[in-house]
Amino acid sequence: MNITILGPGAIGSLYAYRLNQAGHSVSLWGRHPASPVEFSLDECPVLSFANRDRHCLQHCDLLIVTLKAWQVEAALSPILEMLHQDTIILFLHNGMGTVERLQAQLHNRPVLLGTTTHGALRVTANEIRHTGQGQTLIGAWNPLGQQCQFVAEVLDHAIAPVKWHEDIRSALWTKLIINCAINPLTATLDCQNGQLVHSQYRSQLSAIVSEAAMCARTQTIELDDKALLQTVLTVAKATEENYSSMHQDIYNKRQSEIDFITGYVLDIAQKYQLAVPQNAALFQQIKQIEASWSQHD
């Protein structure tokens, strides 16, 4: 397939490299017009990729969006008109709400949503490390996307395991709630994920999860609060030595994905007049930290 990666950072470069190894024709669409882009993956040799090549973009069968959630709208809007109407667009980022913001421009195109638990790190501009073996779930956002189940097989061949999920919204909500619980707390407490397993955080985690699950129910997503809390604790334990992505963003004074994680829950809560005090407080704390940078720097 002709595949373009929009936002070739850590995760996007990992996917680009593996898809290239699997025999696909892969190009990148990064922020800077530097072509070609070269990088290695772990111990594997340096590969060269076309970057911001209009011809590649116009002929791509699959566009994989691996931007940070807050970058998606600004990056995708200007290139949509260059894409063929049949190009499949797969959104593969943390958080929710990006596709809704582009709904009018996307509804006539095959759109897929996905979530991955792989870990990737950009060590230098030319070195990518696959830091954690994970799995990827993808599924349809619209009826045209429903006809693209073969994409799961294509990706599975390159970066297994990739599974098709008939109810991808439910999987994304589960991931969203895990992120609502782990990300802002680890960022504000300045701690590794494993810290949250301690009993002193149990009632706060439980409240965060229950508030978010209540919002999910308004979207016809039925998730069990107790099972979700258990999942959060399992993920925190399994990644105990990791710093969450939001911790890393805040630590490095980079804009976080809070608007598309906790902020997504808050938007629904406001729409349905639901009380979500724990999530609202964490949202405010992260926003205050982000606002303080521009005041002091």
Of 72-80, 120-128, 140-148, 239-247, the window that binds ligand PAF (rule: CB under 6 A) is 239-247
Q: Which does 239 bind (CB under 5 to 8 A by kind): ligand PAF, ligand NAP, none?
A: ligand PAF
Packed helices 168-189 and 202-218: angle between N→C axes, nearest 10 degrees: 150
Interface residues for ligand NAP in 238-267 (CB under 6 A)? 245, 257
* Residue closest to ligand NAP, measured at CB: 9
What residue 4 binds from ligand NAP, ligand PAF, none (CB within 5 to 8 A, per partner kind)? none
User: Judged by CB under 6 A, does residue 69 bind ligand PAF?
Assistant: no
Convert 188-200 to b/e letters by CB count within 10 Å (16 or more is b): beebbbeebeeee
Cα–Cα dist 276/210, whole Å: 9
Chain centroid to CA 188: how far?
21
Based on the shown chain and the rule CB under 6 A, indicate whether residue 183 belongs to the binding site for ligand NAP.
no
Q: Which of 71, 98, 244, 262 binds ligand NAP (CB under 6 A)?
A: 71
> Is 286 a residue that touches ligand NAP (CB under 6 A)?
no
* Distances in whole angstroms, Cα of residue 223 to Cα of each of 175, 196, 237: 12, 21, 21
Task: Report residue 244 as tokens.
Answer: 């969450």
Q: Which is nearer to ligand PAF, 58 or 70 (CB)?
A: 70
Spatial separation of the C-alpha atoms in residues 183 and 144, rounded to whole Å: 33
Q: Of residues 179, 231, 256, 279, which one binds ligand PAF by CB under 6 A?
A: 179
| Residue 175 annotated among the catalytic residues of the structure | yes
DSSP annotation of 261 reads T
Give the binding range for ligand NAP (CB under 6 A) out of 17-25, 62-70, 83-91, 280-288.
62-70
How many angstroms separate the CA atoms of 204 and 181, rounded?
9
Q: Is 244 in the site for ligand PAF (CB under 6 A)?
A: yes
Least Cα distance to 60 among 69, 52, 70, 48 occurs for 52
Binding site for ligand PAF (CB under 6 A): 94, 178-179, 182-183, 193, 235, 239, 242, 244-245
